[in-house]
Chains A and B, each alone.
Chain A
């Protein structure tokens, strides 16, 4: 499953994994803004942005092939959106958009692959994202895979009671059945939320995730922040106009 892969990458002994999550988040925004506001990418600029993303992959000891493959997930919708430009003969501009969206996805994956979700959410909160939204995100990420598994169990239960695809097709009120399945899943989710709520109150939860250790910036964090932002700005300003 997806999250298992990202979590496994996050535990690798890379230099980027040790950096403060806030620094990585700010560097990611800097990279994306530099890339998003650059004029149409000529070869040097595209190579420069690509090199920055590749440096992140190396510093995080991430598997390059897997990152490249996962980042390709953005290409189908990108191709769909760029289809008009391709048909209209503006192939260069379409290629420019696709390269941008692909590089952005690689950058997001570098940060996600070197930062555990909990640390990332903590960084978001300290950078000013509303705390309530952060709490919702914590629970959403925690129960995402639990509920997906429950849906898979329900599907398995239907299958094991003898309803295969062909049988399903003959079923007269299939929509009703699917709607009912979702209603059951929803009702169970509500019951689960209620149980979590009581269990957490019993353990002293006060509406905020507490941490055992305060986040502290180390010299390496400042170094990374300064170098990353400088390089992003340099590629954006110098290479983007040198082409």
Chain B
């Protein structure tokens, strides 16, 4: 059973086709890079996987659970750290984690333990009572990850998690993501920093203008002295891109 199975998925906004009949699978335990320029359909796909957006064509399932028919089970298995800070900026960090744990049905004891664990793992001890808006950009990113991990999901979806993060924190995040991936978490990762995708991911897909233009092991993108960036530009140009 795949961690993520997308079959003939299409998303339309009125007459505009944002994602055009894509099929994709992510195996359990993979660190999967999902790349593409702005507006290519990455975030739209992620929104449809997680329930932020609706779709009527194709199917998406997470560990065998259809995201429409069996949405409760599917969503319990997903943790999302989105590109934008979609958080109550006036809420204190501890409360944010506490409430999210509750939404996922965690008991008070479980929530209390996990909240403290997340605060410790992401080194938020000094900031736990601060409102989200009072934090620096790097700390905000940590909170987003802590929130995504709060209910201990099996599939972690990270939409540009290192955007606006300084070098030190970026390295810390990489180490943390590698560690949880080695511990068995499946990660779907998008980023515009191709060197970090090359460093972290073992399989990669490139989406361009709503279509998957390449998918395969990292080795297929970096063979014969080439690197991911060269291959990425080559593929998006070949597909009619302007980059």
Do chains A and B stick together as partners?
no
| Chain A residues at the B interface, C-beta cutoff of 8 Å | none
